[in-house]
Amino acid sequence: MTIRKHKLLVRVVSPLGMMGGFLLLPFILWVAVAVVGLPRPGGDSTSGVVMTLIAIAIFFTLVYGGGRLAVALFQWRVLAECPHCGLAALGLRFVTVNRGTYRCRACGYVDPTSARDQPNGVAPTQAL
């Protein structure tokens, strides 16, 4: 698989993982309220307000974490082909929250097209 196709699939997989995390929220809140016996979010008491704040924090954690987990699992199973050595060992390595570089796990090649994704326009050159 080429780097271009891999980038496209990562951009598809990430929102799908976010949606999966979002869809887990009702199940987790049901487990917290019905099974564990925690107070219902949005109740009139102080514990209901605290549970609402916890539910909001769980929401953002599940959405962000779902996207990152989906990309990590995708990276574990699907690698791009390295143009330098020809092996399917090129993986996306996140440098910041939104930016990453493609690095070959076999030969250490860094994709030069990743440089435009970097804040200073230069791709890092250190090997894995």
Per-residue pLDDT reduced to its tens digit, 76-124: 888 888 888 888 777 777 666 566 778 888 888 888 776 554 455 454 4
Confidence (pTM) = 0.71
9 alpha-carbon distance from chain centroid: 13
Q: How far apart are CA 80 and CA 86, in angstroms?
A: 10
The mean pLDDT value for 29-58 works out to 83
Q: How far apart are CA 65 and CA 56, in angstroms?
A: 14
